[in-house]
Amino acid sequence: MSFVEYGDTIKDGDTAIVFLGHESMFPVKVQHGTVTQTKYGVIRHSTDLIGKKYGSKVTCSKGGWVFILHPTPELWTMNLPHRTQILYSTDISIITMMLELKPGSIVCESGTGSGSLSHALIRTVAPTGHLYTVEFHQQRAEKAREEFREHGVEHLVTVTNQDVCKNGFGVSNIADAVFLDIPSPWEAIGHAKSALKAEGGRICSFSPCIEQVQRTCLAMEEYGFTEINTLEILLRVYNVRTVSLQIPDLGKAAEDNSSTGFDSSNPSNQGSLCTNLQQGTVQFKSGVPLREMVGHTGYLTFATKS
């Protein structure tokens, strides 16, 4: 099993995603002789998982069922154990695009954190690229190495435990892109410039506060970066619902079938048409935004090495 080289069958030692529903899923490490408890009953790894195809529908001991999915960076972002605050797919997608990443790219990242962005970067640059990721916290760095090894991508990533603001990324003049997610990114701009290739390399800094952005932009300008720009991604989700609205009293025109939005030639609609007209309402599908939603996550500042 690998996050970048997909297999058909579930093997002992794989990381799989148990899918109970769009809002309910979790990762599990497949091990011979192990069982996993769900609200639908027990899943026995030896008989229910190992040897089955990814995407299979598995019946649990209580009669309920789940799907077993192959892990992807997107699924891992939704299910990973949080050691730090993480980046989600909304920001990750714009980062990979604006940094102009592709298979074969060399990327430097700090800090590694929980590895949400790291997995997405690794898949983007595979199979010939490489990620150099720096994590200040020793235990988080060791856990990241362990996860990358379990997920079959350790040959595509190098994890370093050091302070990027003092010691840099450990590489010089080879990176196509640099990503910073640290409290004081302006202190690492000089090291980022040293890690980037001679010209044309891209840099991105993620900061939750506008004061951090201001200092980072000043540092980028001081080190000769160009095309400096900052953006914020705000995601607004809509639910599709059936909405009932009252028919306005427009006289005889209101009785016209065309004004109801129904096809009166369809026998199945004639009963609904009469009922709706008598009640003075008409139903149709509409997009309704959520009452509560995730707003600001952070500011993304991009620049180019001239």
> Could you tell me if 18 and 25 are in contact, meaning their C-beta atoms sit under 8 angstroms apart?
yes
The reply, when asked if residue 181 is annotated as ligand binding, is: yes
How many CB atoms within 10 Å of residue 156? 20
β-sheet bridge partners, residue 202: 177, 304
> What are the residues whose beta carbons fall under 8 Å from the beta carbon of 291, sequence distance 6 or more?
none
The reply, when asked if residue 117 is annotated as ligand binding, is: yes
Which 8-state DSSP code applies to residue 105?
-
The reply, when asked if residue 292 is annotated as ligand binding, is: no
Amino acid identity at 111: G
Amino acid identity at 26: F
Burial 101-135, CB ≥16 within 10 A → b, else e: beeebbbbbbbbbbbbbbbbbbbbbbeebbbbbbb
Instruction: Select from 84, 73, 66 the least CA-distant residue to 21.
Output: 66
Most distant CA pair in the chain: distance in Å? 80
The reply, when asked if residue 154 is annotated as ligand binding, is: no
Residue corresponding to tokens 């089955």: 52
Per-residue CA distances from 121 to 89, 90, 200, 209, 234 (Å):
12, 14, 19, 24, 22
The reply, when asked if residue 115 is annotated as ligand binding, is: yes
Q: Is 192 helix (H, G, I), strand (E, B) or coil?
A: helix
> Could you tell me if 53 and 40 are in contact, meaning their C-beta atoms sit under 8 angstroms apart?
no
Q: Which residues are annotated as part of the binding site for S-adenosyl-L-methionine?
A: 114-117, 135, 163, 181
Q: Which residues are annotated as part of the binding site?
A: 114-117, 135, 163, 181
